[in-house]
Amino acid sequence: QKSEYELDFQKTFNSTSLIIKEADIIGESIREHYIKRKTAIEPVEKIIEKKPEEVKEKETGEPFALYKAESASFNISTLYPFGRFSEIADFGIGAEAVLNGRSPLLPYITINPGISIYGIFSSNENINSEFLILPELTLGYNFTLTSDLTFTPVLGAGYSFMVIDGNESGSTGASNTEIYYNPEFKAGIEAVYSLTPDYNIFTSITYRCIAEQDSILPFSTINIGIRMNL
């Protein structure tokens, strides 16, 4: 079988000049063959040297990003305090906005930053008004039950900002507004049902607690709303 380079010697040369000339022809054939192969395939060394984000961009045509938002949720929320929290709150009504996305570093985990705001209703005679603001980050893992229904256990943490306007117990003076801020933690389950390719019904039940320096304020929330794909 003939070599792909086609470099077979056809005859014997006695002249040095003819040998050099034939060697030049062979060298030129090798150079042309190498140039064709070099333009056809990328050297392995170059692929190895590429950074992960460069490889990702080359494969998908999109810039590499540490976080990509896939959808956004907008929910109506109710709050039910218990334990020590029920001493200063009866129930709450609020709203929640959450981004839902993923990171290539944790492709199977949903990463959801969000914020919720509640107006708290209290029968405590020393409290005039009460609000609770909860910025937080939630992590989840999706379980797809059907093509339209997904359940997601979640864990999260954030910070609580509780704004209370009222009087000290037994005081008859003017009311004061105080802001209390403490770490907040949550665990719960979410359910998403697909209505259309772009819109889903979202609902969740969550147990939360605010960790004060000397006590815990536990409460639960129930959310229902719409999740829109971005």
Strand-pair partners of 140: 110, 154
Confidence of residue 37 (pLDDT cuts 50, 70, 90): low
Are 128 and 171 within 8 A, CB to CB?
no
This prediction's pTM: 0.69
Are 113 and 137 within 8 A, CB to CB?
yes
Are 192 and 152 within 8 A, CB to CB?
yes
Residue 66 has pLDDT above 90, yes or no: no
The residues near 136 (Cβ < 8 Å, ≥ 6 apart) are 113, 114, 115, 116, 156, 157, 158, 159, 184, 186
State percent of the chain over pLDDT 70.
77
State percent of the chain over pLDDT 90.
60
Return d(Cα 200, Cα 194) in angstroms, integer: 4
Highest mean pLDDT among 40-44, 113-117, 177-181 belongs to 113-117
Return d(Cα 189, Cα 206) in angstroms, integer: 7
Write down the pLDDT at residue 10. 55
Q: Tell me which residue of 209, 210, 214, 155 sits closest to 182, measured CA to CA.
A: 210
